[in-house]
Amino acid sequence: MSVQGLFYALPRHGLRALLVEPSAMDDYLQHSAEQGGPLAVLDQGSLWQQDIQRLPEIEHGVAVDGTLAQHCWAWPADLVTDSAQRLSGISATQLVQRMHAWQKAQDGRPPDIEALRHWVRRQAALRSFWQAAAQRRDAVLLYVV
């Protein structure tokens, strides 16, 4: 079974309560998903780690222990805003250059065109998610299961 990374946007005040009682996070996320919100969710699948590694514009989140997740990080609203601003400054050309550099470091070969398209589409969705969260002044969680 592959590891899945889910980004959740949630009200900034809700994050404070979850950081005080992280064991409540799993029930909160499940209940909110069943209710259809208010969370925005972005599933980055098994590629979540590559996103974090290749996008230094995303500030480092705060590690959260005490949840059922394999890993969990939180970004308060101010870090979400900072990260969204940095992400908005990345062009598609810069994303392609990063992908080329990363692929070359991995196996010395340039990525194929389909891999580049997939990378650019996924990053556009990720940037859009962070920008929408920043506009709402939401906090963000990365929940890895």
Q: What is the pLDDT along the chain (145 residues), one digit of tens a residue?
A: 568 999 999 988 888 888 889 988 888 888 776 666 667 889 998 888 888 888 899 989 999 999 999 999 999 999 999 999 999 998 888 888 888 888 788 788 877 888 888 888 888 899 999 999 999 999 999 999 9
Q: How far is CA 104 from CA 21, 56, 121, in A?
A: 43, 19, 20
Q: How far apart are CA 53 and CA 58, in angstroms?
A: 9
Q: Residue 71: what pLDDT?
A: 93
Q: Residue 35: what pLDDT?
A: 66
- For the record, the structure tokens of 141 come out as 């969680």
The pTM assigned to this predicted structure is 0.88
Q: Residue 88: what pLDDT?
A: 92
CB 140 within 8 A of CB 90: no
Q: How many CB atoms lie within 10 A of CB 67?
A: 20
Q: Residue 53: what pLDDT?
A: 84
Q: Beta partners for 74? A: 62, 141
Q: Residue 136: what pLDDT?
A: 93
Domains and CATH numbers, the chain: 5-144 (3.40.1760.10)
Q: How far apart are CA 77 and CA 17, in angstroms?
A: 14
Which stretches of the chain are DSSP H helices? 12-20, 25-34, 48-54, 77-88, 92-107, 113-136
